[in-house]
Amino acid sequence: MGLGKKLLLITFLAGIAAVVYEVAIKETPTFPVVFFKDHYWGRKVVKAGEPIPKDSTEIRKFVVKIEDSVIQDLKQQLKTTRYVEPLPNSNFNYGFNGAQLKKVVDYWTQTYDWKKQEKEMNKYNHFKTQIEGIDVHFIHVKPAKAAKHTFPLILVHGWPGTFVEYLKSIPLLTNVENDVAFELIIPSLPGYGFSEEPHQQGFSAVHAARVFHKLMTRLGHKKYYYHGGDWGAIIGRFIATMYPENVLGYHTTFLPGLRLNLCGAVKYALTYFIPSIFSDHPQAEMKLLKPFQEKLLFFSIRESGYMHLQSTKPDTIGAALLNSPAGLAAYIMEKFSTWTNREYVNLEDGGLTKHFTYDELLTNVM
């Protein structure tokens, strides 16, 4: 690698380290008062100085039901799908393999049964309620029988997941065991699933934390437990920090970042290329750091393209995927392959069905 390329890569890594530090590593911030105040994300244009519209506090029953005409339109779009011819033996190294995508679409149009999936989802009670101007969808499940200790627990998904990924967990958590069970609240993030999207600019994970805290208090839970993965984990960090007197415990399957300071984060990123400057014992430390750098830094750079696109030009990628259900499936299901096991890029089918079924994956896409 030439000097110019090395310098360019070092600069890029330093930038990544700075962004990661600000987003996920920086010590817990002190939240400005504005983050605790009511906001409005509905469609109405509220002029400066005007009071924001009041929410309806009604909790409305909701049933998952998609019209047959919508499903038929989907199948018609899928039938006109064109496929990218994959390079020989490329598997999933360049993204979702075109030959495998055809198999997914064939299953989607010929075998997948949305009505069956609706029935599975409607086994549980779904609701909607208005919070800060938008309808928030959630599942609410109480233990089938009384337990000596019942704890309210909110389960929050991330991207590219939905509430669907928690359906298998419901029986496990609501069944009474050792006199303990959980009362589950499983919301859809605003803009995901059956939750309404924010109609104003500026909605962030901090605002989502406030919205979900309001949801829990509206359901009568002044104190509760929280679990989240991916964006749900980041929201959880905020909600636990903003409302420490309410959140009894925070559990996650995703650590938003290691507790490093900015200098430490940059050092880890750059030591790979110039170890003698940053290390007293470069050979020994490089031996220890190499697996970390290869698995985290390089893997993160390779797999973070979607993040830059979605955070800078969401309308552009939205227009592309909105009009291509097969494209949307490839975009989402690719993450279920690579993020489950990074070695799955070397498998012909991306290892998709090693841990999931096509029904589960497609229901999440739907």
Residue 225 · residue 12 · CB < 8 Å: no
Write down the pLDDT at residue 5: 58
Nearest 5°: phi and psi at 39?
-120, 175
- pTM, whole model, 2 decimals? 0.83
Write down the pLDDT at residue 331: 96
State the average pLDDT over residues 169-177: 92
Which secondary-structure segment (H or E) carries 333?
A: helix 325-338
Averaged pLDDT score across all residues of the chain? 88
Write down the pLDDT at residue 280: 72
Residue 272 has pLDDT above 70, yes or no: no
State the average pLDDT over residues 167-176: 93
- 11-15, 206-210, 228-232, 301-305: least confidently modelled range: 11-15
Report how far Cα 336 is from the mean position of its chain's Cα atoms: 11
Q: Which domains does the chain have, with CATH numbers?
A: 33-62+124-252 (3.40.50.1820)
Pairwise CA distance, residues 78 & 27, whole Å: 47
Q: Is 269 exposed, middle or buried (0-12, 13-18, 19+ CB in 10 A)?
A: buried
- DSSP secondary structure, 208-242, as one string: HHHHHHHHHHHTT-SSEEEEE-THHHHHHHHHHHH
Provide the percentage of residues in the chain whose pLDDT is more than 70. Answer: 81
- For 46, left (φ over 0), alpha (ψ -120 to 50), or beta? beta
Q: Using alpha carbons, list the distances in angstroms from residue 251 to 75, 120, 142, 160, 184.
A: 39, 27, 20, 19, 14
Which secondary-structure segment (H or E) carries 309?
A: helix 305-312
Write down the pLDDT at residue 305: 86
- 4-18, 189-203, 268-282, 300-314: least confidently modelled range: 4-18
- Give the model confidence (pLDDT) of 57-88 as tens digits: 999 999 999 999 999 999 999 999 999 999 99
